[in-house]
A and B are shown apart, each in its own frame.
Chain A
């Protein structure tokens, strides 16, 4: 019976060769019809585009847009853990501006970001220029360069914690044995010095990213250009400023902006090394927001601290996108 019903369809829609297939296989045909119906639909460009974009959109909505909107809502509410929050307008932000620890964290975040990014750029560029030369063990050097960046932040930071330890610091041991100091330096015991240590560790960890990315940029620079400049009498310094730098500027800007965003939102390194201490002198937005939102259970207030980042980061991202688009035009 079934065979008889399917056969006419087969005869209409598939080639004679296929219609010769024995009956059991032909049962699968109703499924085979689906592309026939979907096909024309998917051939319309906007439908296909929508279908292809849908998974990405769903992911972005669930993991980026929803938490972000929720974060904004929290920051204008008095939400605490376990209780529904109500709208309080900009009250949380006003409280922040009246909070000395917050203001210190605000200042620290900018100091930390700008100094660390500048140092990472300068040292990363120097390392990239060196690595761009031909020398023995070049590959090993390039690979080992990446190590600080690959090791999980918490692990490497714990090692740094030992090196800065008030009692067992290896730096103090070396300096004392070299006769340079007579009493130990308390690396993490003073606000300014501790901030310096945090920046140092951040630079150590982030510099390889700069070095390797800039190295990739340097390798796209045509050696002929250098040769031509050299023939025209340009010295090394001039060749760097006039030839290399303009050519790798797009990649340089992208790296700096990426790094700034990441450094601005840093948390792990500071939380492991100082937890914002001593005397709340090393808090940044991330660490202070965590203390307030999680440990004091004030989700609304905590969100308003981390959202203080938002206008700045938005500016950075808008500039970044604008620049990339302009460069690619």
Chain B
């Protein structure tokens, strides 16, 4: 083998190795990008049930208030599943564009658990908190809207705890406390002051 041929073969082999490494990096980057995208897939199968009238308490950033609005959605018989569907409808209003109170794409409720008779635990998606706008007022509106909508439609529920992706989180986006239980009376007082 001539010296030139040896050199060319070595060069080609080096190019193959370099391309392999480059391909590996590309695949890894793409995988990471896909993982970081908000998960917008439906988190549960559509429920079956009769269409029912519910009241959603929608937050409005402009006037800085929360207003009641009727909606008709299919609701199952199980109270916890009803709670999830009602909050799914509420957050669906905020994910739409334009919205009175914008939340990031993928913000949704994963599950609602009813415990100790009067307590509801709401488990939200990571996007609900990760992409939420930061500010005392804007975070307060989100919490108040969510708690009021749930407690107004599930009689007997007076305390609400919000989790993010199954875990407790210190704050929603730097301000609103997510470690506490929200009491319907204090939320009601807040809503009265917002009127």
Co-assembled chains A and B: no
